């Protein structure tokens, strides 16, 4: 009986295995239908004969300096300015001030000088061309050009203030001749008045301030120009960026930011001020930029 059961089990195993090998490869190949070849789907990428190569433009960084000269500066001061500018790798330096002083600097800097107006001078080691609008088109790189311009409002509000004008009479909107080229632009501007972004009547140390609307900085902002100092310094209270000081009366010093570096299509990286002369009342502005 035990043998019979074992024989029956072996027979079932053989039948099961034979069912798993119903077809051999040669026979199965004749029974499986051939695969249908689908046409190749052509994409837009395969239609491009040559790959598009976007020409890379370099990211250019440069440093600029703006020196609003004190009125009637001494020869010793001008020579100090010459030495300091020559010792640093500035791409462009702008001077605004006394015509005789500007003429002296123009002569000393020789071929690096570009005289834009009687009181305005640009100094740069790069080649450039002054256009009909009195702006300098500067070639910083074979594939990158920079428009550089100077703007001075004279007499500015601070000059009228010294001459005795009341504070309420100082705001005065001028017809600003601004660069209009659609390219990276650096505008050195001596507006002779504070910025609307700086003027807080409650600011400590500015007891003379009253509610005043300063129009020219707002006009520049509306024209698409950005204030370098305000872009690189968070607070007008903690970082005022003073460029002019005047001893108005005993224990009353008028100190304001009236000189600016405005930019268009340029990214300011950092900026700082330097006193041009001890107790001279004017401060230079140095800034670094990147042209994307």
pLDDT in tens, 205-243: 666 777 778 889 999 999 999 999 999 998 888 888 999
pLDDT tens for each residue of 8-39: 555 555 555 555 555 555 555 555 566 655 55
> The sheet that has 136-141: what strands, in order across it?
128-130, 136-141, 144-152, 185-190, 259-264, 226-227
**187: three-class secondary structure by DSSP:** strand
Q: What percent of the chain has pLDDT over 90?
A: 48
pLDDT tens for each residue of 78-102: 999 999 999 999 999 999 999 999 9
Neighbours of 281 (CB within 10 A): 19
- In this prediction, residue 71 has a pLDDT band, given cuts at 50, 70 and 90, of confident
State pTM to two decimals: 0.77
Sorted by sequence, the CB contacts under 8 Å of residue 244 that are 6+ apart come out as 68, 158, 254, 255, 256, 257, 258, 259, 281, 282, 283
d(CA 131, CA 145): 13
- Give me the pLDDT at residue 190, please: 94
d(CA 226, CA 223): 9
**221: three-class secondary structure by DSSP:** helix
d(CA 246, CA 45): 68
- Give me the pLDDT at residue 141, please: 81
- Taking residues 119-138, report their average pLDDT: 94
- b/e map of 85-108 (b: 16 or more CB within 10 Å)? beeeebbbbbbbbbeebbebbbeb
> What CATH number does domain 60-291 carry, 3.40.50.1110, 3.40.50.720, 3.60.10.10, 1.20.1050.10?
3.60.10.10
> Phi/psi class of residue 240: alpha, beta or left (left: φ > 0; alpha: ψ in -120 to 50)?
alpha
Q: 141: part of which helix (H) or strand (E)?
A: strand 136-141
What residues does each domain of the chain span? 60-291
- Give me the pLDDT at residue 56, please: 62
- Give me the pLDDT at residue 264, please: 96
108 vs 255, residue with greater confidence: 108
- Give me the pLDDT at residue 137, please: 95
**Which range has highest mean pLDDT (198-207, 221-230, 248-257)?**
221-230
């Amino acid at each position: 009986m035990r043998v019979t059961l074992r024989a029956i089990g072996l027979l079932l195993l053989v039948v099961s295995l034979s069912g798993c090998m119903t077809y051999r490869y040669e026979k199965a190949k004749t029974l499986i239908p051939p695969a249908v070849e689908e046409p190749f789907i052509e994409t837009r990428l395969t239609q491009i004969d040559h790959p598009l190569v976007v020409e890379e433009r370099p990211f250019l960084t440069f440093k600029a300096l703006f020196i609003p000269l004190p009125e009637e500066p001494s020869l010793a001061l001008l020579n100090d300015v010459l030495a300091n500018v020559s010792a640093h790798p500035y791409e462009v330096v702008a001077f605004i001030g006394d015509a005789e002083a500007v003429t002296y600097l123009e002569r000393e800097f020789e071929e690096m000088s570009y005289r834009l107006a009687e009181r305005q001078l640009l100094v740069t080691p790069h080649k450039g061309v002054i256009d009909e609008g009195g702006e300098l088109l500067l070639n910083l790189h074979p594939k990158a050009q920079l428009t550089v311009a100077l703007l001075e409002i004279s007499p500015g509000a601070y000059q009228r203030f010294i001459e005795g004008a009341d504070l309420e009479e100082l705001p005065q909107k001028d017809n600003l001749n601004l660069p209009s080229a659609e390219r990276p632009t650096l505008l050195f501007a001596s507006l002779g008045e504070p910025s609307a972004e700086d003027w807080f009547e409650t600011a400590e140390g500015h007891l003379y301030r009253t509610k005043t609307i300063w129009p020219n900085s707002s006009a520049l902002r509306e024209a698409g120009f950005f204030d370098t100092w305000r872009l690189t310094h968070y607070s007008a209270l903690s970082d005022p960026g003073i460029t002019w000081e005047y001893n108005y009366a005993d224990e009353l010093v008028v100190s304001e930011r009236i000189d600016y570096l405005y930019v268009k299509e340029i990214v300011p990286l950092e900026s700082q001020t330097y006193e041009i002369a001890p107790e001279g009342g004017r401060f230079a502005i140095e800034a670094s930029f990147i042209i994307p």
